Structure 1
């Protein structure tokens, strides 16, 4: 396990639910009219039960004869590297959101080694090059820890460069805090003011990158799933196949419906469209 994580100490090893139990629960929800489902875990990629892996489980779920979207929860970077074909196959399934939450944690190989994260940034970059070619509209979410013990300014600079290259739509930034019973607690700690300063710098860089990250969606036409009321009167909120936030003004239809729309305006992470 990673040198900084106390979850395994507190909760023990992850266990996988019986696939029949999962599928029965999914079908029960779909019969109630649910249209958006989350397959979630601390690490979805480790799923294996009764000889069924994550891809095979997802295939059985999406083969259920209902209209819905399925979002896959957090995937460990090791899965991206060692089970890449499986991940590609999952995202090719029509009912699966093209949304990937993958916690990279640092752009420095030296820091990753101290974390006991068993991958190199070069391996991650190689796989993302292929992912982006295969799924050009893939939405990416990642996690970064600022101020891990002995993280140098150069290590942090490499993390900044990696985030600039990756251009994730969602970035969860954590300030390192030593946890009892972890190896990282015994390592050389960084001053809290430095950790805070690095967190602020990375947040600023990320916010600046968001300004034009969704411009490619301007004038896009396609289906979205209308999920709930929006922030304004007669406004609806939904998501498209890439899990993008889409707002519809003057929507008088039902919630839980798939409708065809055209994007007329892009504002940061949000897309604004109309029915077509």
Structure 2
């Protein structure tokens, strides 16, 4: 029988030609499983059309930006402006949409902020149940994903935010502390940043606060990401001058404690790389018969 649209293919699991499992395929048309319109108040999603629990969970979790939003909510981030910093390349409209979808799925709930203006966002019990999955995804990414960074992955904003949230201001004592970070290869307006630690909290400044500097760090954005991520050991970076630390001996010795790296930094990469990335992003081929990794044998910066 000629259907006029292409060849009829029956899925192995179905036997009757009248079943919805038949799929009509051609270059311009693809008919699959019938999808029922969403009920009132429910979000419209692209579904897998399966009852499998894995497919149902993936429909919620695998939407773009959703894992990263859940990642930050799991860290205690609650304000919309803070969540934006974790997904800076997502538009505010997209972030609002994803938060609304998570709320409709029962993974997130909104509360009025203490000031009475705006909302804060918090994980529900089902949302918290996803945190082991988020962590496992991070462990897998640290262990098996490509380690060499491409230029479009050099996200200074994400790194600085992570350093602000993770740094330990008490590492320098109880007095106020100031750490200046300089990216030597960046344009002048994006080159210098200051971390001011006071009263147990750290604040990132993009303008010179005019305070005495306790420790001045100079490196490249690429190498700082490698250090934070655990690919480049801090001691190696200092020894090879990929990171320069200027300050009093006490401040220099406090650097490892102040610079709290990624919580996944201790997970070692097990992916055999084809080559090792240098500080400028160029790849060097590895010698035959010898395994190299960015974590173990970093290439010195130019």
Q: Answer yes or no: same fold by TM over 0.5.
A: no
Q: TM-score, normalised by structure 1?
A: 0.29
* Structure ID, larger Rg: 2
Q: Which has the higher strand share?
A: 1
- Higher RCO (CA < 8 A, seq sep 6+): 1
Q: TM-score, normalised by structure 2?
A: 0.27
